Amino acid sequence: MGTRRTTPGTSRIDRNNASQQAHDLAAYLVSALGPTPVGTLKLQKLMYYCQGWKLAITSEPIVPDRIEAWKHGPVFPAIYRYHSRRAAVESWEWGDGTNLSGLDRKIANAVLRTYGDKTGWALREMTHTEEPWRRAWRRSQQNQSRAEEIPEAAIGEYFETLQHGASLRARRHNAPRLRKAAL
């Protein structure tokens, strides 16, 4: 597996400031799922799955933003700040989905084909069975912290394992049909 690093030209984003890439990804997902409102729980989990699959395929993140283990699964806290008072969003005015690269659109589309028909709660339940969230959540409980980061390396390694179909869980997980060779 390759070395994990942030996308060229970006730096690691703190938990309070969302990157433009994160806003653009959110805008793309909301637009693709529209015109009906998208639950914010679902949006967060779809962004997480985009991150995981991009890391598995390229060893590069789709966005440089921090992901934390919260009670209801992985969360991009900086994106959460923009929707925290809403259960669903109809648009994402802070981003422009057309700014995504061709590869990032392919990954987002594969994630939408695989997970887009699931509810936010179903995606939450899925993330609760996955090792990156489980490990970070255990650490948060030990440290009595509400903001335990899910390491990018852990996410990438887990999704790479799913991509290679190394476990029964991987087959049940319904991995998107996107492979390195196809890119």
Tokens of 116: 């887009």
CA atoms within 13 A on the CB side of 96: 2
Domain ranges of the chain: 20-182
The pTM score is 0.84
d(CA 96, CA 98) in angstroms, rounded, equals 5
Least confident of 8-22, 63-77, 90-104, 165-179: 165-179
Averaged confidence pLDDT in the chain: 85
Task: Choose between 101 and 165: higher pLDDT.
Answer: 101
What residues form DSSP beta bridges with 69? 74, 148
Q: Evaluate if residue 90 carries a pLDDT over 90.
A: yes
36-84 tens-digit pLDDT: 999 999 999 999 999 999 999 999 999 999 999 999 999 999 999 999 9
Tokens of 28: 């793309």
Tokens of 117: 């028909």
Burial class (CB in 10 A: 0-12, 13-18, 19+), 18: buried
Q: Are 49 and 62 in contact (CB under 8 A)?
A: no
Q: Evaluate if residue 175 carries a pLDDT over 90.
A: no
